[in-house]
Amino acid sequence: MPSLTLAEARERADLVTVTSYAVDLDLDRGVEVFGSRSVVRFTCTTPGARTWVDVHARTVTSATLNGRALDAGDLVDGRLPLPDVAGENELVVEAVMAYSHDGQGLHRATDPADGLDYVYGHLFLDAAPSVYACFDQPDLKAPYELTVLAPEEWVVLGNGAATREAPGRWRLAATLPLATYFVTVCAGPYVSVTAEHDGIPLGLHARASLREPLERHAPEMLEVTRQSFDYFHDLFGIRYPFGEYHQVFVPEFNAGAMENPGCVVLRDQYLFRGAATRDELLGRANTISHELSHMWFGDLVTMQWWDDLWLNESFAEYMSHRCLVDATRYTDAWVDSSIVRKVWGYGAERSPSTHPVAGVEALDAQSALQNFDGISYAKGAATLRQLISFVGDDAFIAGVRDYLSRLAYGNGTLANFLGAIERASGRSLEQWSRAWLLTADRDTLSVRLTEQGGVVSDAVVLRETPQRHPADRPHAFDVAGWTDGEQRLGLSLTVTDAETPVPALVGNPAPAVVVPNAADLTWARIRLSDSTIDALPAQLASVPDAQARAVVWSALLDGVHGATVSPDTFLEVFHASWPHETNPSLLTRVASYAEHRIVPWFVPRERQAGVRSALAESGRTVLEQAPAGQTASLAAARLVAGTSDDESLLRAWASGHDLPEGLSDDGDFRWIVVRNLAGRGLLDDEGIEQFRSRDDTLQGSLNALLCRASRPDADAKAWAWEQLTGRHGRSNYEMVHLARGFWQAPDDDLVAAYVPRYFDDVPAMAGWVGEDALSRVVESAFPVVFSDATARLSAAALERTDLSPGVRRPLVDCDSELREVLASRRAFAGS
């Protein structure tokens, strides 16, 4: 179906003002379809004009405009024409809609643990018309009233407070003005934990089979919710305006969470069934705070068009980390950001698909979805930290309050926001915004030190601007250096030139390790000196600043991807430093990068078995010395479980014997072991099924699919590929898990025949898989066969003109990563 264009949205917004929606949903019609009745009241500036309403229905059974019947046969490509519109109008559309299984629209999933069904609405970015008839664009906000008919045993939740009026009949309280993509309904036999804070009713909800982890984790999640409410109320000076606040943990959710006002939906993997590391808890806390901050940035004030997506995501990304540091126990949230969020964002920046933080011309809605990435999140947050350095925190917060107050319940633009900051600070942001917001790519920062007799004799900070996207960005950051754990230098500065002499560093003892941007205040490629890289195996573990260590690890990862740092160098630093790491985020994430990215991508296939054994040995070292049940021991156990070639150990752990403390009844840990066994050909389908029967849950079924796809057997690969690319009604999660396991193989020969098939079979799935879900399949299923032949096929695919946006963008990014791997292998072939 054609995507709404910016020109069309502007034309319709000039014509139409929506005054209210009344939506009635019938969710008691079986497992395939539901009923939808929409009453839309709107005014028109030009009576007699013609426009359209968006409806993606299986069948439109009735449609009237001001009592006049409309011909449902005129519905084309999801658009129902509205001829001869009056000044004031009432549109009534009754339709039969289809449940989705790809995480978009009204998604319905069955929990195999008990056979119960759950429904949730995820209407981002343009899925609202698959649930109700609407004028689907973010600047046509209106209040909503919803009624829902559901099976009697179901609970119904939504944007407004839900009241059960009769068995199976629910009414949701009228809302304040909302954008169409924020409307949601969650319905099913959800179980709940309720509370209250500062007069705001709170609710946490999940599938019945997740009652135990929901109740176990509820106190922690409610604490973060309360702390975030207090922090944002004080920071923004505006109380939360949307009534009750529910957080619903739903199955098969495409994203981390969605900020629907009053009813946030989150992926239910956040309800950790087994042991959780501290960084996993921090990540969940960050998501909770992130979505709550959206109640102001995105919900109260909504972007006018999708090209200002950053007004939602960059702010929520920044504000959630700020809140965690200032108001919760997760005071190391910026360390986590450095090794998780910024690594993600730097990857997006390296790709040919890189784009500016703001001002990206989104000519239609679907093209805007492709910029929903680490640049809009992580780079945007880093840019806001630079803005604060430029204007001062007091002026920044004053401008934020001005922006939110002036545009409450309406829509905002980049110009609106910058105007508010300029009024508060008295400074022009024209040049600053052109460099930081409106120009893509990043600068490279490095330090050139000259020493004599162990003392710094000259110091210069270098700023290199990218040739393909030149900009004059001022950088406020710091430089720090250590030797044997002792800080030898530290200085904050602002760089505005290609070369900036730093006389304050002269005369200091020359440090073994020098880290530009050690506090990670700016956004840049950090180039470590050769001498620093050489010193890292002996020195990194003794650097006492976790934030600086995170910057070093990020720079090493960036260097491996950029073919300036050998993967062997990364692994050498890993084996020397990781066993001594104390920060939870660095412990778990760096180990994950080593296991799941550095080894399978950058290490040649013939060397991978030996390198994995070395990773397992490092894991055993930590496991032997770390306190039982703590993050270090959990991270180490997971690394051993995923990389060890010790069959007797793996079989014992899979059977529940001799497990590390805290993992005796941890089904998710068991699946790491089972996948390792399956990938080595040590389990057949029957053996995998035995483990699935012990974990007869949604997650257990998904893990079983991944393990079956991982088996090094031609028949297993043929089955997995057909299940992935055929029309079997597989859910979005099932497709991703099949894709994740498929390319695991002892050699390229087993899967080489599927490389050309990928470029035909996966794009063809656009015919039945939604764009959001398909983009994840494209990425997960991209061939892990790194060869010039694969690169030629990938390049040829990108020449095609029939690729949908949800296929093309992730394919561009995957192609770029393929070429990074090939460049690295060429650069370090002899190492």
> What residues are annotated to the active site?
291
Q: How far apart are CA 773 and CA 302, in angstroms?
A: 24
Helix crossing, 788-798 with 754-761: angle to 10°? 10
Structure-derived torsion over alpha carbons of residues 23, 24, 29, 33, reported in degrees to the nearest 10: -10
Three-state secondary-structure class, residue 670? helix
User: Residue 573 has which token pair?
Assistant: 């630093």
Contact assessment for residue 639 and residue 619, using Cβ atoms and an 8 Å cutoff: yes
**At a CB cut-off of 8 Å and minimum separation 6, what does 247 contact?**
202, 203, 204, 205, 221, 225, 264, 266, 288, 291
Structure tokens at 436: 């930081």
CB neighbour list of residue 49: distance below 8 Å, 6 or more residues apart: 15, 85
Q: Write out the H or E segment, with its range, that includes residue 341.
A: none
Longest Cα–Cα distance in the chain = 91
Structure tokens at 554: 């990020």
Q: In angstroms, rounded to a whole number, what is the distance separating the alpha carbons of residues 773 and 770?
A: 6
Q: What are residue 346's phi and psi, to 5 degrees?
A: -65, -35
| C-alpha span between 242 and 51 (Å, rounded) | 31
CA distances from 662 to 630, 637, 643, 651, 694 (A): 9, 10, 20, 18, 19
Strand pairing of 144-149 and 16-26?
parallel
Measured CA to CA, the distance from residue 254 to residue 39 in angstroms comes to 29
Whole-angstrom distance, CA of residue 602 vs CA of residue 784: 11
Q: In what order do the strands lie in the sheet with 155-158?
A: 105-111, 116-122, 185-188, 155-158
DSSP state for residue 3 in the 8-state scheme: P
24 phi, psi to nearest 5 deg: -120, 125
Q: How far is CA 91 from CA 41, 142, 183, 372, 406, in A?
A: 6, 14, 19, 33, 31
What tokens does 238 get? 């505006």
Residue pointed to by tokens 């209250």? 196
Q: What share of the chain is helix, strand, coil (3-state, %, to 5)?
A: 45, 20, 30
Number of C-beta neighbours around residue 74 at 10 A: 14
Half-sphere exposure of 424 (CA within 13 A, CB side): 22
Q: Return the number of other C-beta atoms located less than 10 Å from residue 366's C-beta.
A: 22
Q: DSSP H helical segments within 437-539, as ranges?
A: 530-539
What are the backbone dihedrals phi and psi of residue 718, each rounded to the nearest 5 degrees, phi first? -65, -45
Which positions ≥6 away from 535 have C-beta within 8 Å?
512, 513
d(CA 433, CA 442): 14
Single-letter code of the amino acid located at 35: G
| Omega before 125 within 30 of 0, i.e. cis | yes
DSSP H or E segment with residue 583: none
d(CA 246, CA 193): 10
Residue closest to 419 by CA, chosen among 449, 450, 444, 398: 398
Sign of the torsion formed by the C-alpha atoms of 662, 663, 668 and 672: positive
Q: Which of 669, 384, 398, 405 is nearest to 521 (CA)?
A: 384
Judged by DSSP in three states, 184 sits in coil
